[in-house]
């Protein structure tokens, strides 16, 4: 029995295996609405045989987008569009689908990566960004507005409203984005949060807003409905957010009813110093899992089936997530199942493509 292809539950949601498709921004929405690109992109991933598909960072308000082309869930129109998208995916696949709710904060109002990624002017659809403190992500960026009590209350309300809409859309799970230098991470890290009020200074104060947002989302969802959090375990900068603080944060989230922690790293500052290699973030996930007992997703250059199998079998993490690897090979779970002697869900239209010499690889989804 393959550990990677063993079942697991997140809250009341049962997953058929422990392969997660990580959220990957597509920068292809129009005014927050998904386009045909999303249907094609997510459709192929929904046929991959993974245990869970998490769609890209979805902004809870227009000013929470990274780029003007980001997905959103802040209005009846965006809710209706994502409901239709979710319905289309369900019609063709039984794979559970999660939505990652996010706010970019000071990293918003930027062009798409293939358009250079620079700040977008007001005349081209840009906006004034906000953050924990009036400190830009890059010295050449305009300074964000430091959020006051009204701004904080607005964002908390927006996250709760988006969670309620996510339920209406038919999503099976919600993930709160607290990683990669976006707004929640900006409040957590002492490098981006230099406030002097109850939201800054001590670790307890810096965790205050992310924990408030988590409580509101948790309260908006039914009992047993899975809610997870993605974090950056470290800023990779001396004096910044680190693994010790991440572990404390994860423990607090567990107390509040968090169902899993999705452990990434970095993204807060261009000054970060990262030396990536195979599974380079897995030790962060293993530490948090060991110290808190919280169900943990490991991510980061996990590319080989045997590598993912070992991560699960050795207890370093409970699930593994692939992002770029799934873009490169959308049938990665099929190939992993063949290599590990497991079976995987496949649509009936594809059952006849089972390779010669591989027995019982597919089961009808």
Environment class of 125 (CB within 10 Å of its CB; exposed 0-12, middle 13-18, buried 19+): middle
Q: 205 vs 200, 208, 256, 301, CA distance in Å? A: 5, 5, 17, 33
C-alpha–C-alpha distance, residues 158 and 170, integer Å: 19
Helix (H, G, I), strand (E, B) or coil at 164: helix
Q: How many helices (H) and strands (E) does the chain have?
A: 11, 14
- Joined together, the tokens standing for residue 202 give 């001590």
Question: Is pLDDT at 129 greater than 80 in this prediction?
Answer: yes
C-alpha–C-alpha distance, residues 7 and 67, integer Å: 37
Residues in the chain: 365
Q: What's the mean pLDDT when you consider all of the chain? A: 97
355 within domain boundaries? yes
- Provide the pLDDT for residue 358: 86
Beta-carbon contacts of 284 under 8 Å, excluding residues fewer than 6 positions away, are: 233, 234, 243, 246, 263, 265
pLDDT band at 363 (very low <50, low <70, confident <90, very high): confident
**Residue 250: HSE in the Cβ half-sphere, 13 Å Cα cutoff:** 30
**Tokens 């227009």 label which residue?**
62
What is the phi/psi pair of residue 283, to 5°? -60, -30
pLDDT band at 364 (very low <50, low <70, confident <90, very high): confident
Question: Is pLDDT at 356 greater than 90 in this prediction?
Answer: no
- Contact predicate 12/224, CB 8 Å: yes
C-alpha–C-alpha distance, residues 186 and 184, integer Å: 5
- Provide the pLDDT for residue 114: 96
3 within domain boundaries? no
- CATH number for the domain harbouring residue 188: 3.20.20.70
1 within domain boundaries? no
278 within domain boundaries? yes
- Provide the pLDDT for residue 14: 98
What pTM, to 2 d.p., does this model score? 0.97
Number of domains in the chain: 1
- Provide the pLDDT for residue 13: 98
146 within domain boundaries? yes
Rounded percentage of the chain residues whose pLDDT exceeds 90:
95
Beta-carbon contacts of 191 under 8 Å, excluding residues fewer than 6 positions away, are: 235, 237, 239, 240, 241, 268, 269
Residue 93's domain comprises 8-364
- Provide the pLDDT for residue 180: 98
2 within domain boundaries? no
Question: Is pLDDT at 89 greater than 80 in this prediction?
Answer: yes
311-327, pLDDT tens digit by residue? 999 999 999 999 999 99
Residues annotated as catalytic are: 182
Environment class of 58 (CB within 10 Å of its CB; exposed 0-12, middle 13-18, buried 19+): buried
- Provide the pLDDT for residue 60: 98
- Joined together, the tokens standing for residue 330 give 């959308």
32-56, pLDDT tens digit by residue? 999 999 999 999 999 999 999 999 9
- Provide the pLDDT for residue 359: 82
247-267, pLDDT tens digit by residue? 999 999 999 999 999 999 999
Helix axes 208-220, 149-169, angle to 10 degrees: 30
290 within domain boundaries? yes
168, containing H or E segment = helix 149-169
User: In angstroms, how far is CA 114 from the centroid of its own chain?
Assistant: 21
273-300, pLDDT tens digit by residue? 998 999 999 999 999 999 999 999 999 9
Mean of pLDDT values over 75-92: 98
165 within domain boundaries? yes
- Provide the pLDDT for residue 79: 98
- Joined together, the tokens standing for residue 97 give 């689908």
- Contact predicate 259/227, CB 8 Å: yes
- Contact predicate 298/317, CB 8 Å: yes
C-alpha–C-alpha distance, residues 297 and 282, integer Å: 9
The answer to which of 126-135, 145-154, 214-223, 349-358 has the lowest mean pLDDT is: 349-358
179-219, pLDDT tens digit by residue? 999 999 999 999 999 999 999 999 999 999 999 999 999 99
What are the residue ranges of helices labelled H in 5-148? 36-46, 76-92
């Amino acid at each position: 029995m393959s550990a990677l292809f063993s079942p697991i539950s997140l809250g009341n949601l049962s997953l058929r295996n422990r392969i997660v498709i990580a959220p990957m921004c597509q920068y292809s929405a129009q005014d927050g609405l998904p386009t045909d690109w999303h249907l094609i992109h997510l459709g192929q991933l929904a046929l991959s045989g993974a245990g869970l598909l998490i769609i890209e960072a979805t902004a809870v308000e227009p000013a929470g987008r990274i780029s003007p082309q980001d997905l959103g869930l802040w209005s009846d129109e965006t809710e209706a569009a994502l409901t239709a998208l979710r319905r289309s995916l369900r019609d063709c696949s039984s794979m559970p689908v999660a939505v990652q709710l996010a706010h970019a904060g000071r990293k918003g109002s930027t062009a798409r990566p293939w358009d250079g990624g620079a700040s977008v002017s007001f005349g081209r659809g840009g906006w004034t960004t906000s953050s924990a403190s009036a400190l830009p992500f890059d010295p050449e960026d305009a300074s964000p507005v430091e959020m006051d009590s009204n701004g904080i209350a607005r964002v908390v309300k927006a996250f709760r409203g988006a969670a309620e809409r996510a339920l209406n859309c038919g999503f099976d799970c919600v993930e709160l984005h607290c990683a990669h230098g976006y707004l929640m991470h900006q409040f957590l890290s002492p490098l981006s949060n230099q406030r002097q009020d109850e939201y800054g200074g001590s670790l307890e104060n810096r965790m205050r807003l992310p924990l408030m947002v988590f409580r509101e989302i948790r309260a908006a969802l039914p009992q047993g409905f899975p809610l997870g959090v993605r974090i950056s375990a470290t800023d990779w900068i001396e004096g910044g957010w680190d693994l010790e603080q991440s572990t404390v944060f994860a423990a607090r989230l567990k107390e509040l009813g968090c169902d899993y922690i999705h452990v990434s790293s970095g993204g807060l500052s261009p000054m970060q110093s990262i030396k990536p290699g195979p599974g380079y973030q897995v030790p962060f996930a293993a530490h948090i899992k060991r110290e808190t007992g919280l169900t943990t997703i490991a991510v980061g250059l996990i590319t080989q089936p045997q590598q993912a199998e070992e991560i699960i079998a050795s207890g370093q993490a409970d699930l593994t997530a692939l992002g770029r690897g799934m873009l490169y090979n959308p049938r990665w779970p099929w190939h992993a199942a063949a290599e590990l002697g497991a079976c995987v869900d496949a649509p009936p239209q594809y059952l006849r493509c089972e390779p010669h010499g591989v027995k019982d690889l597919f089961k009808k989804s």
